[in-house]
Amino acid sequence: MNAVTKPSVLFVCVHNAGRSQMAAAFLSTLAAGEIEVRSAGSAPADSVNPAAVAAMQEIGIDMSAETPKILTTDAVKESDVVITMGCGDACPIYPGKRYEDWPLDDPAGEGVEGVRPIRDEIRTRIEALIADLLPADK
């Protein structure tokens, strides 16, 4: 049996502690397992931004167990779509990959109030991405 492979998305930001973690959590939750999700950073932080965790918790998404991961060449090779989070991150470019840059404010140093608008913009972008990657008529 030849199973159709799921599309895969990699979210990249410098510290893999805020924007990319929120995007990955949204995509994992809203795509209900239909899309493979990865996130990574070129210089990962020691832990995920607590304000980002709190902002996501407010809407019922728990990412408290996530940890920042280092960006690897393999992660890029294994992903169909690579989305950088507005931080000018250096990312290896491979033919046949789809690259997008989402210019989002950095939530570092922000409280929950400052993270909410970033979270909400990420959700809007994730919903559009899901609609693009998972056509309703499949």
Note whether residue 86 is domain-resident: yes
* Placement of tokens 């507005």 in the chain: 86
Extended beta strands in 26-87, E state: 36-41, 81-84
23, 87, 122, 130: which is the annotated catalytic residue? Answer: 87
pLDDT at 2: 40
Domain membership flag for residue 88: yes
Active site residue 13: yes
The domain in which residue 61 lies consists of 8-133
The verdict on residue 1 lying in a domain is: no
pLDDT of residue 57: 98
CATH of the domain at 38: 3.40.50.2300
What is the total residue count of the chain? 138
Q: Which of 91, 115, 126, 129 is catalytic?
A: 91
Query: Would you say residue 138 lies in a domain?
Result: no
Q: Quick check: 40 and 69 in contact, CB under 8 A?
A: yes
Model pTM score: 0.92
Structural domain includes residue 46: yes
E-strand stretches of the chain:
8-13, 36-41, 81-84, 98-101
Note whether residue 3 is domain-resident: no
Q: How many domains does the chain have?
A: 1
The SS3 call for residue 92 is: coil
In this predicted structure, the answer to whether residue 72 has a pLDDT above a threshold of 60 is yes
57 is catalytic: no
Strands 98-101 and 81-84, by their bridges, are parallel
pLDDT in tens, 27-64: 999 999 999 999 999 899 999 999 999 999 999 999 99
